[in-house]
């Protein structure tokens, strides 16, 4: 029996040794299970060869490529509009490609940063995000577009500090929960300081105003608090306070109330040419697509009927050109990606890497929630809110930070695999 049990192990050791000689690292040893709880040492390939979650990477690349094609399709006719008369038909395509290149470079750099370094830098990253949010509100520094002061000009391009704030709050909240793990049952010592930090970010975002970004930031922080093990009663108390706060914001703002009324009846005479204009044309676009769509490039609504077709309402163009099938495929891809990232986070926590696990799960909450809101708005299930479709919509700041977040998740997965094969991080 012993000889039979050891035979596969000997074969495994020989194979591992052969692979080790090929890679020049035959000296690396890892524990190999031999029935029950007994472990023996075996050589194997290094973690650098084993890499990270390639399936996740290919899904992200697929979404980016699809988004690039759809941004071109949605923006190709924009030069016919007098507002964009000086733009070439490929203006938004080339800029989007530039953003993707910059985003990939930033992602490669972010992937090289160990999670321990992200943890140490969390408070400083949060402070930097606050300073950027303050800077955007300074007259002459912040750039005003459509009545909102949300951009900082960096040469010929604009940059949205709110996108940095999402990532910074995510990193800071994960670090905060690790530091406060021993007092998570005490409300004032565990939750209130984090709530105050999010409130400061919220005040700055609402001053722009950017309620959509504040919603995402609040949900990220709430999600990490919940996953970090905060008492359920505390969690639901905070959730209730947030819902009440958002309700008061809507009730106290006439134009926000008008958006809600327009959402309830976008085709009414009162709203069809006002606050319900985008939503009504989004629904028309999706209705035209039916099951299989009108074909790539065949959208009519993008021809100056649907505003922001290449940014907030890109899904409507996808629905018109690819139909219900295209929308369902997109939903499945985002669901799969979110689930995969959550799994990487759970795996990190199981390896006693709580910070890394909470960061990965926070990224899943961020991308999943923002995609849910954007899709809900485009499909008429939620009131209109200015949030882009992650990884796909036109927008340099969003693409950059989305790719950095994905790179950090891949780093978490890389370190998980390294640990599971006996390495150190």
More confident residue, 423 or 413: 413
Residue 148 in domain:
yes
For residues 375 and 240, membership in a common domain is answered with yes
For residues 76 and 21, membership in a common domain is answered with no
- Residue 60's domain spans which residues? 53-420
Reported confidence tier of residue 97, pLDDT bands at 50, 70, 90: very high
Residues 278, 384 contacting (CB under 8 angstroms): yes
Alpha carbon distance 272, 277 (integer Å): 5
Reported confidence tier of residue 36, pLDDT bands at 50, 70, 90: very low
pLDDT of residue 361: 96
Query: Is 13 a residue whose pLDDT tops 60?
Result: no
For residues 111 and 80, membership in a common domain is answered with yes
Cα Rg, the chain, nearest whole Å = 24
For residues 355 and 402, membership in a common domain is answered with yes
DSSP string over 257-284: HHHHHHHH-TTSTTTTTTTTHHHHHHHH
For residues 35 and 163, membership in a common domain is answered with no
For residues 157 and 290, membership in a common domain is answered with yes
For residues 35 and 161, membership in a common domain is answered with no
Residue 73 in domain:
yes
For residues 7 and 129, membership in a common domain is answered with no
More confident residue, 85 or 101: 101
Cβ burial of 124 (10 Å; 0-12, 13-18, 19+) is exposed
Residue 425 in domain:
no
More confident residue, 288 or 211: 288
Give the C-alpha distances (Å, rounded to integers) separating 147 from 133, 150, 151, 208: 17, 9, 12, 9
For residues 57 and 37, membership in a common domain is answered with no
For residues 143 and 58, membership in a common domain is answered with yes
More confident residue, 302 or 158: 302
Residue 252 in domain:
yes
Q: What is the DSSP letter of 389?
A: P
Residues 303, 284 contacting (CB under 8 angstroms): no
Beginning with the edge strand found earlier in the chain, give each strand of the sheet holding 142-145 in spatial order.
Answer: 142-145, 148-154, 157-159
Reported confidence tier of residue 167, pLDDT bands at 50, 70, 90: very high
Residue 299 in domain:
yes
- Is 311 in a helix, a strand, or coil? coil
Residue 48 in domain:
no
Instruction: Quote the number of domains for the chain.
Output: 2
Which secondary-structure segment (H or E) carries 338? helix 314-350
Reported confidence tier of residue 104, pLDDT bands at 50, 70, 90: very high
Residues 407, 64 contacting (CB under 8 angstroms): no
Residue 69 in domain:
yes
Name the one residue in this structure whose structure tokens are 């299930």. Answer: 381
Query: Is 5 a residue whose pLDDT tops 50?
Result: no
pLDDT of residue 371: 96
For residues 209 and 344, membership in a common domain is answered with yes
Phi-psi region at 114: left, alpha or beta (left = phi > 0; alpha = psi -120 to 50): beta
pLDDT digits (tens, 9 = 90+) for 176-196: 988 876 655 566 666 778 888
Residue 159 in domain:
yes
For residues 24 and 109, membership in a common domain is answered with no
């Amino acid at each position: 029996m012993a000889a039979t049990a050891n035979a596969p192990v000997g074969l495994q050791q020989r194979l591992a040794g052969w692979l080790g000689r090929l890679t020049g690292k035959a000296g690396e040893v890892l524990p190999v299970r031999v029935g029950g709880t007994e472990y023996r040492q075996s050589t194997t390939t290094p973690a650098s060869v084993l890499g990270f979650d390639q399936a996740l990477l290919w899904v992200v690349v697929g979404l980016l490529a699809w988004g690039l094609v759809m941004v071109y399709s949605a923006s190709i006719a924009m030069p016919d509009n007098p507002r964009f008369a000086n733009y070439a038909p490929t203006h938004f395509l080339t800029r989007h490609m530039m953003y993707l290149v910059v985003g990939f470079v930033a992602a490669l750099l972010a992937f090289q940063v160990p999670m321990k370094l992200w943890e140490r830098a969390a408070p400083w990253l949060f402070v930097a995000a606050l300073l950027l949010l303050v800077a955007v509100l300074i007259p002459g520094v912040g750039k005003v577009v459509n009545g909102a002061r949300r951009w900082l000009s960096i040469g010929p391009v604009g940059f949205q500090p709110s996108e940095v704030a999402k990532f910074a709050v995510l990193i800071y909240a994960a670090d905060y929960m690790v530091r406060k793990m021993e007092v998570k049952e005490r409300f004032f010592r565990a939750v209130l300081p984090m709530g105050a930090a999010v409130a400061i970010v919220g005040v700055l975002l609402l001053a722009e105003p950017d309620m959509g970004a504040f919603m995402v930031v609040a949900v990220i922080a709430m999600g990490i608090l919940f996953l970090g093990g905060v008492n359920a009663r505390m969690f639901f108390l905070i959730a209730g306070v947030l819902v009440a706060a958002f309700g008061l914001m809507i009730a106290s703002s006439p134009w926000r109330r008008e958006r809600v009324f327009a959402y309830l009846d976008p085709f009414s005479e009162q709203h069809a040419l006002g606050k319900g204009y985008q939503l009504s044309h989004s629904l028309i676009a999706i209705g035209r697509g039916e099951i299989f769509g009108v074909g790539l490039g065949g959208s009519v609504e993008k021809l100056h009927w649907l505003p922001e077709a290449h940014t907030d309402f890109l899904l409507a163009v996808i629905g018109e050109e690819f139909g219900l099938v295209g929308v369902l495929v997109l939903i499945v891809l985002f669901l799969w990606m979110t689930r995969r990232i959550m799994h990487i986070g759970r795996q990190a926590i199981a390896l006693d890497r709580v910070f890394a696990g909470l960061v990965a799960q926070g990224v899943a909450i961020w991308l999943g929630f923002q995609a849910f809101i954007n899709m809900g708005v485009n499909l008429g299930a939620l009131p209109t809110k200015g949030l882009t479709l992650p990884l796909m919509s036109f927008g340099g700041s969003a693409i950059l930070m989305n790719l950095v977040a994905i790179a950090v998740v891949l780093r978490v997965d890389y370190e998980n695999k390294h640990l599971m094969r006996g390495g150190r991080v």
